[in-house]
């Protein structure tokens, strides 16, 4: 049976978790699309070593916004070349995020994401 202290502790922890979800936890990372697939191939020990050429990485950069949860990627939004993220672009991405969350995580949308999306859209 829960005591009053345990109940108060649950309320406090729940409040902290809600605040954590409302904070912007965005992060930026540079990822190159090209990979070294040659080094991943299986070879017989007696087969000759393949030559690896130095390849310059592409100068083209892509901005991708990824939303994911414990069960995997919810939405992957790739910006066209030359565009940057601004308030209008971010709101457009949040609009596209609604349907995948409703389909993949219906409980999450109604309890957590709806207030966050509404707050973000009103502040921009």
Residue 123 to residue 7: CA distance in whole angstroms: 34
The model scores a pTM over 0.85: no
pLDDT digits (tens, 9 = 90+) for 30-43: 655 555 665 566 67
- Cα–Cα distance measured from residue 98 to residue 104, given in angstroms and rounded to the nearest whole number: 10
Could you give the angle at the alpha carbon of 72 between the alpha carbons of 112 and 104, nearest 5°? 50
The 10 Å Cβ neighbour count of residue 99 is: 11
- Convert the pLDDT of each residue in 91-110 to its tens digit: 888 888 888 888 877 776 66
- Ramachandran angles phi, psi of 98, nearest 5°: -60, -55
């Amino acid at each position: 049976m829960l005591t009053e202290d345990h109940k108060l502790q649950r309320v406090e922890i729940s409040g902290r978790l809600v605040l954590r979800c409302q904070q912007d936890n965005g992060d930026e990372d540079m990822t190159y699309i090209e990979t070294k697939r040659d080094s991943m191939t299986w070879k017989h020990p007696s087969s000759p070593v393949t030559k690896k050429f130095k390849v310059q990485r592409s100068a083209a950069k892509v901005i991708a916004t990824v939303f994911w949860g414990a069960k995997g990627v919810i939405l992957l939004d790739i910006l066209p070349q030359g565009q940057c993220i601004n308030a209008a672009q971010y709101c457009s991405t949040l609009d596209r995020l609604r349907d995948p969350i409703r389909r993949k995580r219906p409980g999450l949308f109604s309890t957590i994401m709806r207030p966050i999306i509404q707050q973000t859209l009103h502040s921009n």
